[in-house]
Amino acid sequence: MSAVESRLVGPVRVVGVGLLGTSIALGLRARGVDVILSDASPTNVSIAIDYGAGRRAGDADEPQLIVVCVPPDVTASVIVRELSAYPRAVVTDVASVKKPVLDAVAAAGGDLSRYVGSHPLAGREKGGPMSGRADLFVGRPWVVAGHEGISYQAAAAVDDLILDLGATLVEMTAEEHDTSVALISHAPQVISTLMARRLIDAPAAAVGLAGGGVRDVTRIAASDPALWVQILGANAAPTASVLRALRDDLDEVIGALESSGASDTAWRRTVAEALAAGNAGVERLPGKHGQDRRYAQLVVMVDDAPGELARLFAEVGEEGVNLEDLRLEHSPGAQIGLAELSVLPETVDKLTAALAARGWRIAG
Amino acid sequence: MSAVESRLVGPVRVVGVGLLGTSIALGLRARGVDVILSDASPTNVSIAIDYGAGRRAGDADEPQLIVVCVPPDVTASVIVRELSAYPRAVVTDVASVKKPVLDAVAAAGGDLSRYVGSHPLAGREKGGPMSGRADLFVGRPWVVAGHEGISYQAAAAVDDLILDLGATLVEMTAEEHDTSVALISHAPQVISTLMARRLIDAPAAAVGLAGGGVRDVTRIAASDPALWVQILGANAAPTASVLRALRDDLDEVIGALESSGASDTAWRRTVAEALAAGNAGVERLPGKHGQDRRYAQLVVMVDDAPGELARLFAEVGEEGVNLEDLRLEHSPGAQIGLAELSVLPETVDKLTAALAARGWRIAG
């Protein structure tokens, strides 16, 4: 957190002190902002207060900004209630779907000149106030779903909030937001879930052969069903649109595989084109994992003993090399793990030689 | 590698010195086995010999065991050729599909009493002899696809090979193998590919919102299309069977999402059941990532500066704690990375306190 003082004059009222609400409150408190906490659960409010996230609401509160962090299915009604209860406050929310919320607030007669929806692309697998952390949003995108009814001045308070929390402000319309998250979050969730579902009745011998690939594909299938039913329901049309296109591609691949015994080789072209298109698609993802070409990798074998991985990283540090990324691979039952280090290409030869000279087994 | 002497009397002839062949050869050489290298590419043979993987074939060679490590589409014909050229040798192969190979060898009149197919579940994203490493198979499953025509004595040489290389022998029929890998490898490849394909035409703003979830789901979409066309073609029927079941589930979810505006809530039950089934499926995966409950996690914030991550791991080591798993999360543009350390539950409180006392910011 930077020590720069917040431009928010406060107080900021946070409604809903789960993971996101508590994290927002903690981040604002770290900037010295007066934070008021509210939640349907008095227990959650008490926990969040003990956690240092803010104070209880008082009758004389005049919040500058209200951040609604409640579950998606009640977000719109809470926004409308807050707009009405605090007629001078700007209200935003952090729900992961934006158009249905905006429409519902408008339909209920909420004052749109003081409401602008937003969505921080941040989260953790663990929920609840105890999982909150002041730095949850640092460096993460935070979408502001602007609309024509919001005044520049009102929107500025939300911009200040995002700046305070160290996130990167991304402006798009509610529709653009919803189609974007359908593609990069909601459809992948469904696909991961459905792949994982196939494993339920698999023989133990089959799942015993599983490697890193299927683990990666199915990791987010462990997400909370109750939350995701709400998210998928709220963004049903854009998500279904992505899934229909994927289903058409899947039908094509299934058809190609079913005809792979035939004498003509059209099936082969279909499957190869799909695989090549997948290559091209994954290249579009930003970030370190999506741009591994920027770094060189080396793989070091590490005995599965206390301190061994620590010693490796200590010695990488002594060589003055910064790790850009890191993957640890460890097979069940193996006495040896593999640490894949990603470093700047100009450092890899030097580091490889140095680690080998220190006795490390370089596996690639 | 253990120093135990190999039970193979050798020589072992390795046909095809790509990643797998070279790794097998290196592993056997480390056990003192006489290894003969053969490849359609004289350049590859020279590289592998320079790499220490073995020697060139001679006219008087009498290999005990031949390991065929060529691309899937020529595996069966090379096996038949080797069975014929070396009438006293046992032959195995490492192709990732087993039933079509066995059938093709039988159809071509190959001597099945000396052939047994196998499949090491190991690999790397990089191919070629230079990527080979003696320890590639340590702790990984290695399937032997037994059949009734193979003699116990012949199969024993393949068992010795697997033992030598430190892998875990898994016995199943060729059919069981192919349906297993269709489920845990080939179908996930197709699904990851098709999800990644959807990203091709996405606006830059949309892919800019991508987080760890979609990255994990699409990581293996970066795999080599030429290789995967062969694998999928060779295991078309079992893979199509998994994909059809997944497609039916997908149709159900799409239908549910399309009817989510309706007054009845049947859609909600359908989606919730799919998500819960995904939870249950992912729980079946073995290994550290699939059993995170065995470990406790803590997240430490690390400045993106040389030596910082190294310092963290050095200090974890000084506290005497063994890292069981590790994830590094680093958002584009952020000056801070998050290192999620997985440790034994009984050590997490002590380690958290110790790292905090050393000045580390614990993020959860």
Convert the pLDDT of each residue in B45-78 to its tens digit.
998 898 889 999 999 999 999 999 999 889 999 9
Find the residue in A nearest to B251 (Cα): A247
Candidates B199, B201, B227: best to mutate against A (most CBs of A within 10 A) is B199
Alpha-carbon A129 to chain mean position: 18
Half-sphere exposure of A151 (CA within 13 A, CB side): 9
CB contact under 8 A, B176 and A203: yes
Q: What is the 3-state secondary structure (H, E, C) of chain B?
A: CCCCCCCCCCCEEEECCCHHHHHHHHHHHHCCCCEEEECCCHHHHHHHHHCCCCEECCCCCCCCEEEECCCHHHHHHHHHHHHHHCCCCEEEECCCCCHHHHHHHHHCCCCHHHECEEEECCCCCCCCHHHCCCCCCCCCEEEEECCCCCCHHHHHHHHHHHHHCCCEEEEECHHHHHHHHHHHHHHHHHHHHHHHHCCCCCCHHHHCCCCHHHHHHHHHHHCCHHHHHHHHHHCHHHHHHHHHHHHHHHHHHHHHHHCCCCCCCHHHHHHHHHHHHHHHHHHCCCCCHHHHHHCEEEEEEEECCCCHHHHHHHHHHHCCCCCCEEEEECCCCCCEEEEEEEECHHHHHHHHHHHHHCCCEECC
Q: Is A359 on the interface with B (CB under 8 A)?
A: no
3-state secondary structure of A170: strand
The answer to whether residues B154 and B113 touch, using CB atoms and an 8 Å cutoff, is yes
| Among candidates B192, B237, B333 on the partner chain, residue whose Cβ is nearest the Cβ of A139 | B333
**Strand duo B168-172 + B141-145: pairing:** parallel
**Strand duo A90-93 + A117-120: pairing:** unpaired
Candidates A99, A142, A183, A348: best to mutate against B (most CBs of B within 10 A) is A183
Given this model, what pLDDT does residue A334 score? Answer: 46
CB contact under 8 A, B197 and A277: yes
How many Cβ pairs closer than 8 A exist between chain A and B? 467
Q: What is the DSSP secondary-structure string of A4-31? A: PPPS--S-EEEE--SHHHHHHHHHHHHT
3-state secondary structure of A185: helix
Looking at A266-280, A333-347, B134-148, B208-222, which range is the least confident one? Answer: A333-347
Would A12-172 and A290-362 be classified into the same CATH topology? no
| Tokens 């040489």, residue located | B157
Q: What is the identity of the amino acid at A40?
A: A
Report the CATH fold assignment for B290-362: Alpha-Beta Plaits (3.30.70)
Which chain A residues have a beta carbon less than 8 Å from that of B277? Answer: 193, 196-197, 200
Helical pair B225-234 and B72-85, crossing angle rounded to 10 deg = 70
- The mean pLDDT of B247-276, rounded to a whole number, is 93
Which chain B residues have a beta carbon less than 8 Å from that of A214? Answer: 184-185, 188, 285
Find the residue in B nearest to A319 (Cα): B307
| Among candidates A212, A246, A275 on the partner chain, residue whose Cβ is nearest the Cβ of B228 | A275
CB contact under 8 A, B287 and A331: yes
Give residue-wise pLDDT tens across range B87-105. Answer: 999 999 999 999 999 999 9
Given this model, what pLDDT does residue A308 score? Answer: 78
Distance between CA atoms of A120 and A185, rounded to whole angstroms? 13
Given this model, what pLDDT does residue A247 score? Answer: 98
Looking at A20-34, A291-305, B134-148, which range is the least confident one? Answer: A291-305
Q: What CATH number is given for A12-172 in this structure?
A: 3.40.50.720
Identify whether A11 is preceded by a cis peptide bond (ω within 30 of 0): yes
- The Cα of A280 is separated from the nearest Cα of chain B by a number of Å equal to 6
Given this model, what pLDDT does residue A4 score? Answer: 59
B304 phi and psi angles, rounded to 5 deg: -80, 70
CA dihedral A339, A344, A347, A349 (to 10 degrees): 60
Which chain B residues have a beta carbon less than 8 Å from that of A336? Answer: 135, 138-139
Which chain A residues have a beta carbon less than 8 Å from that of B323? Answer: 309-310, 328
b/e per residue, A121-142, with b = 16+ CB within 10 A? bbbbeeeebebbbbbbbbbbbb
Given this model, what pLDDT does residue A7 score? Answer: 84
Q: What is the mean pLDDT of chain B?
A: 88
Give residue-wise pLDDT tens across range B150-163. Answer: 887 778 999 999 99
Which chain B residues have a beta carbon less than 8 Å from that of A284? Answer: 199-200, 202, 207
Give residue-wise pLDDT tens across range A2-50. Answer: 445 788 888 999 999 999 999 999 999 989 999 999 999 999 999 889 8
Gyration radius from chain A CA atoms: 25
A328: β partners:
A339
Nearest to A340 by CA among B216, B326, B290: B326
Find the residue in A nearest to B140 (Cα): A331
Find the residue in A nearest to B321 (Cα): A306
**Strand duo A336-343 + A296-303: pairing:** antiparallel
Distance between CA atoms of A120 and A230, rounded to whole angstroms? 17
| Tokens 């696909």, residue located | A191
CB contact under 8 A, A194 and B140: no
Distance between CA atoms of B186 and A275, rounded to whole angstroms? 12
CB contact under 8 A, B309 and A318: no
Nearest to B165 by CA among B12, B18, B6: B6
Is the pLDDT score of B331 beyond 90?
Answer: no
The answer to whether residues B164 and B33 touch, using CB atoms and an 8 Å cutoff, is yes
Q: Show Cβ contacts of residue B284 under 8 Å, excluding neighbours closer than 6 positions.
A: A199, A200, A202, A207, B290
- The mean pLDDT of A111-137, rounded to a whole number, is 84
Is the pLDDT score of A125 beyond 60?
Answer: no
Q: Is B344 on the interface with A (CB under 8 A)?
A: no
Q: Is A222 on the interface with B (CB under 8 A)?
A: yes
Given this model, what pLDDT does residue B25 score? Answer: 95
Looking at A229-243, B59-73, B122-136, B265-279, which range is the least confident one? Answer: B122-136
Q: Is A43 on the interface with B (CB under 8 A)?
A: no
Find the residue in A nearest to B168 (Cα): A333
Given this model, what pLDDT does residue A329 score? Answer: 62
- The mean pLDDT of A206-213, rounded to a whole number, is 91
Is the pLDDT score of A326 beyond 70?
Answer: yes
Question: Biggest alpha carbon distance in chain B?
Answer: 81
Distance between CA atoms of B147 and B170, rounded to whole angstroms? 14
> What tokens does A89 get?
């406050």
Gyration radius from chain B CA atoms: 25
Distance between CA atoms of B325 and B323, rounded to whole angstroms? 6
Find the residue in A nearest to B129 (Cα): A364
CB contact under 8 A, B285 and A209: no
Q: What is the mean pLDDT of chain A?
A: 88
Nearest to B180 by CA among A213, A198, A199, A206: A206
In chain A, domain spans: 12-172, 179-283, 290-362
- The Cα of A86 is separated from the nearest Cα of chain B by a number of Å equal to 31
Give residue-wise pLDDT tens across range A47-105. Answer: 889 889 999 999 999 999 999 999 988 999 999 999 999 999 999 999 999 999 999 99
pLDDT band (50, 70, 90) for residue B300: confident
Is the pLDDT score of B328 beyond 90?
Answer: no
Given this model, what pLDDT does residue B222 score? Answer: 92
Number of Cβ atoms within 10 Å of the Cβ of A42: 9
The answer to whether residues B337 and B304 touch, using CB atoms and an 8 Å cutoff, is yes
Give residue-wise pLDDT tens across range B82-91. Answer: 999 999 999 9
Per the CATH hierarchy, to which homologous superfamily does domain B179-283 belong?
Answer: 6-phosphogluconate dehydrogenase C-terminal like domain (1.10.3660.10)
The strand order across the sheet containing B141-145 reads: B117-120, B141-145, B168-172
Q: What is the identity of the amino acid at A246?
A: L
For residues A301 and B214, the model is more confident at B214
- The Cα of A325 is separated from the nearest Cα of chain B by a number of Å equal to 7
